[in-house]
């Protein structure tokens, strides 16, 4: 997650930039890390079927 935080700092300006940075991060993961992350995403999709809640600062 530290690598992802580093990629997303400073915050991307738009959705396309987020997508690019997420792809870069995913391509750098090991198979074990990818499997773990995909399981986490599936868990979050079940927990939040309408999408993640928006948190405003």
Q: What is the pLDDT of residues 30-50, one digit of tens each?
A: 999 999 989 998 998 899 888
**pLDDT at residue 57, rounded to an integer:** 58
Which is higher by pLDDT, 52 or 11?
A: 11
Total structural domains within the chain: 1
- Tell me, yes or no, if the pTM score tops 0.75: no
Give the integer Cα–Cα distance in Å for 30 and 8.
20
Instruction: Give the residue numbers spanning the domain of 14.
Output: 2-47
Give the integer Cα–Cα distance in Å for 30 and 24.
13
């Amino acid at each position: 997650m530290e690598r992802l935080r580093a990629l997303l700092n400073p915050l991307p300006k738009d959705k396309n930039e987020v997508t690019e940075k997420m792809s870069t991060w995913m391509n750098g993961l090991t198979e074990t890390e990818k499997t773990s992350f995909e399981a986490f995403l599936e868990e979050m999709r079940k927990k939040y079927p309408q999408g993640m809640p928006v948190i405003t600062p």
